[in-house]
Amino acid sequence: QLVTVSLRVEADEEELVAGAVRLVPQVHDERNPLHVCDAALLWTQDPGEPGGHGFGDRARTHALVALRAAADTWPVLERLLELRVPDEITLDAEELVSLLEVGVGALGQRGVDVLWPRSLGRDLTATAVLDARPAPPGRAAPGPREEALQDSILAPDQLFAFRWQVALHGDPLTEEEMEQLAGAAAPVLRLRGGWTVVDPAVARKARQRMVRSLSAVEALATALTGVGVVERRRADAEPAALEQVVVGASLLKMRDRITQAAVRAPVETPPGLRATLRDYQRHGLTWLAEMTSLGLGACLADDMGLGKTVTLIALHLHRHDEGATGPTLVVCPTSLLGNWEAEIARFAPGVPVRRFHGGQRSLDDLEAGLTGDPGFVLTTYGTMRVSHEQLAGVAWDLVVADEAQHVKNPRSATARHLRRIPSRARVALTGTPVENDLTELWAILDWATPGLLGSRNAFRKVWAAPIESGLEPTKARQFADLVEPFLLRRRKSDPGIAPELPAKTETDHPLSLTREQTVLYEAFVRDTMERIERADEETRRGLVLALLTGLKQICNHPAHFLKQSGGRVAGRSEKIDLLDELLSTVLAEGGAALVFTQYVAMARLVESHLSAQGIAHQFLHGGTPVREREAMVRRFQDAAPDEPAPVFLLSLKAGGTGLNLTRADHVVHLDRWWNPAVEEQATDRAYRIGQTRPVQVHRMTTRGTIEEKVAELLARKRALADAVLGGGEAALTQLSNEELRDLVTLRRDAAGGDASGGPDLP
């Protein structure tokens, strides 16, 4: 007959006053749980006697084995085994604390229950309440300015904190009872007419009161998710702080205001704005006005071409009308200085605007004698990096990071120096908040609203890794709840956003390698893979990147890979042949085309080819001076009869953002970038507000090559949520040698075999 044991807690009034209890072992019949008796009876009664315990002769042996196992789990029970009759032991206060902290849980895992009497309650619970910290005693009453700032989540000196709220039977303790609990020396306490067992963890929380202080932004992040910064910033945080967080009234009010900012009634268009805002632009203005009025940062992440610039100009005017006194600093790529200058002059004539760029830049008289709108200062990321200390000395109202993906690397000097420029609020503008992974979004939002997402390492662990793995779908929803109030994202395809935009047709052109390209491709794969397989880890990474780059160059044109600056271009690559066909059709129809490549060297080959054919064109790349860039854009858009230049050749990085090139009705991608967002951003130079003709997008891909594998990868990325993107070339360096070989090996059946469109190698 097998038995199990349990432990019954007993105590009289005198024992409870001393903080002590008695522990009585009980024996249970395994086959009949209702058959139970005190363990002492097994030693003092004959099971066959009338009124005996009813267990078999071997029950005492089984009970002793069970008690020894329990004592191995919780050593205090060794005292029971030392007794001739193990009837009971008395636990002092220290042993009772050990039972509560360690014993109950450990014994429960061994199947030994601890049974508490009804007279000794254990319904004392602690909940983390997040709310504003009370003002310190003696603090002066707030004046009018301070009262006005109470509506701001970033009000001066405002701190929030987790405090522990302890409750008995769900009813919160009063301050006096909390003091009594915090000062209790024994693990049992008389509360509200009855005795209560006090879990040591609850007692510690009562003594601690405040878990930790939080900044307003950290508190808001916790309020938005229910779990928060404690998890991300303190490895030793109390677990209960993470399990249940109750948001206090003042923070709840602020949370509701933040979450409703995007749906409140639209603000009036500023009188000084010379533009009619579309409904979604007024919606964006309203949201930005509300967020920045609270001192919070925001990221306007609309698709390229939906008018982020005019919305920001409207925000500047609105804030000035509401009493803002500082200027607005816009940090942008060099190629966009002229665009900002022109847009401000067009939509807000009379508002001061200056460039802080070039050798003669100065801010000396920026704030001197200003009586009206302080206006805009435009600078570039490069200039800001060099002159950040000078810029940090100005009392900016707004700092705007245009094409904010330029600060996606938080360790870069650009990102670090931008963080050091203070302002009342920050706004990030970008059409691609995530190009490769979620850490880029962290960098943007952590600049706009510092502290919102915790540290970078914690963000990777808590949010990015689970979401990008695809194994925790609920994490993506929780993350969306957290960032949604701070990021506004609209797409051209969203209902009602841009119904006036014409159709966009995307065509993938599968091409074959010429014989020359095939020989180069296979030889380069063979030679480089042999080197990779022999290389150490550090050398291997560089070789893999060189392999990927070289193969893409071979797919473009043999001369690109061989670094041939002269000689014949036509007939050696189907990409050039197809480009000739496309451009002949475009020019015959009176259209215009943008031709993108990620390689300046490839663009030079195309440029020489177009020149040989007499096709008027322009070429914009990273080395083009700012004034010349602006002039090139004007020439292309104006289409002057004497300078038609219907073909605009652009390097992807230099020309893929910020430019308004709506004259073009065709966009050609000669090679594929690793991320679809970058390609779409480049396409949006033509497919944007102001475009009146259907846009045709042409993407060239060589079959059977790494380009086709990349195209398949891009297709999968487009099917994923924006928050789940891969790591591009850097991720491919982590492939095994077998996986890498499979990626780069030429599939001759798909590649067209020994294509005869080109000559044999000499």
600-613 helix and 574-588 helix, angle to the nearest 10 degrees:
50
335 & 230 share domain: no
CATH number at residue 476: 3.40.50.10810
Q: What is the pLDDT of residues 98-148, one digit of tens each?
A: 998 889 999 999 899 999 888 787 778 877 777 776 655 444 444 433 333
Asked if 638 contacts 660 with a C-beta cutoff of 8 angstroms, the reply is no
Q: Among 218, 241, 259, identify where a domain stops.
A: 259
**DSSP states of 104-115:** HHHHHHTT--EE
481 & 361 share domain: yes
Q: Among 242, 259, 276, identify where a domain stops.
A: 259
* Two structure tokens written together for 587: 């020019």
Q: What is the pLDDT of residues 642-665, one digit of tens each?
A: 667 899 999 887 877 778 899 999
In a domain, 672, yes or no: yes
Is the model's pLDDT at 151 over the cut of 50? no
Q: What is the pLDDT of residues 200-218, one digit of tens each?
A: 878 877 777 656 666 777 7
In a domain, 93, yes or no: yes
Greater model confidence, 457 or 143: 457
In a domain, 476, yes or no: yes
Could you give the number of structural domains in the chain? 4
Asked if 439 contacts 447 with a C-beta cutoff of 8 angstroms, the reply is no
Residue 159 pLDDT level (bands cut at 50, 70, 90): low
**Domain enclosing residue 391, as ranges:** 266-488
181 & 105 share domain: no
b/e 12-28 (16+ beta carbons within 10 angstroms → b): eeeebeebbbebbbbbb
226 & 365 share domain: no
What whole-number distance in Å separates Cα of residue 592 and Cα of residue 650? 14
Q: What is the pLDDT of residues 553-598, one digit of tens each?
A: 999 999 999 998 877 888 899 899 889 988 988 888 888 999 999 9
In a domain, 354, yes or no: yes
480 & 535 share domain: no
Mean pLDDT of the chain: 81
What is the number of helices (H) and of strands (E) in the chain?
Answer: 35, 26
What whole-number distance in Å separates Cα of residue 257 and Cα of residue 223? 12
Is the model's pLDDT at 722 over the cut of 80? no
In a domain, 141, yes or no: no
**How would you write 624-657 as a 3-class SS string?**
CCHHHHHHHHHHHHHCCCCCCCCEEEEEHHHHCC
391 & 271 share domain: yes
Angle at 702 between CA 701 and CA 704, to 5 degrees: 125
In a domain, 495, yes or no: no
CATH number at residue 675: 3.40.50.300
In a domain, 142, yes or no: no
Q: What is the pLDDT of residues 216-263, one digit of tens each?
A: 777 777 777 665 444 444 333 443 334 456 766 767 777 777 777 766
420 & 305 share domain: yes
310 & 255 share domain: no
Rounded to 10 degrees, the C-alpha dihedral 702/665/301/432 comes to: 20
522 & 633 share domain: yes
169 & 188 share domain: yes
In a domain, 465, yes or no: yes
pTM comes to: 0.62
Ramachandran angles phi, psi of 209, nearest 5°: 60, -70
Q: What is the pLDDT of residues 260-312, one digit of tens each?
A: 776 678 899 999 999 999 889 999 999 999 999 888 899 998 877 788 999 99
b/e 385-409 (16+ beta carbons within 10 angstroms → b): bebbebbeebebbbbbbbbbbbbbe
82 & 179 share domain: no
Dihedral sign for Cα atoms in the order 137, 139, 145, 149:
negative
Q: What is the pLDDT of residues 428-448, one digit of tens each?
A: 998 777 766 788 888 999 999
Q: Is residue 572 classed exposed, middle or buried when 0-12, 13-18 and 19+ CB atoms within 10 A define those classes?
A: buried
* Residue listed under structure tokens 């007499």: 614
What whole-number distance in Å separates Cα of residue 229 and Cα of residue 452? 9
